[in-house]
Amino acid sequence: MVNVRLSELTVLDSNSTLQELHMEWREHIWIDAGRMHGVPCMRGTRVPVYVILDNLAAGETAQTILEQYPTLRPDHIPAAIAYAAELARERVVPIPV
């Protein structure tokens, strides 16, 4: 069992070693009503957060997702997971525009 806190996620890097990351997902996710109809996307891309989450839920690895969406950065993956965890708490999550 792996304990995951919202502020720190344990992820595998490209060399399959554990590394601790401090994750502030708000730095990585943005909403712009003029792009993607206001759907939360990874900052600097047009890749919606749900695309990352859907792929992870389907069993894709982070490496495969990064290869399929070259505009994504490795830190986008744990940011998407942290964002989903925040939403799962069933409360309004403000995102700076």
Give the pLDDT confidence of 52-92 residue by residue, as tens digits.
999 999 999 999 999 999 999 999 999 999 999 888 886 76
The residue ranking higher by pLDDT, 65 or 11, is: 65
Residue 45 domain boundaries: 8-88
The answer to whether residue 71 sits within a structural domain is: yes
Under 8 Å between Cβ of 71 and 47: yes
* Residues 56, 18: Cα–Cα separation, whole Å: 18
The answer to whether residue 97 sits within a structural domain is: no
The answer to whether residue 69 sits within a structural domain is: yes
Given a cut of 90, whether residue 22 has pLDDT beyond it is no
The answer to whether residue 2 sits within a structural domain is: no
The answer to whether residue 67 sits within a structural domain is: yes
Q: Which residue has the tokens 């206001």?
A: 38
Q: Give the mean pLDDT of 24-33.
A: 90
Supply the pLDDT for residue 48.
Answer: 97
Q: Give the mean pLDDT of 37-46.
A: 94
Total domains, the chain: 1
The answer to whether residue 95 sits within a structural domain is: no
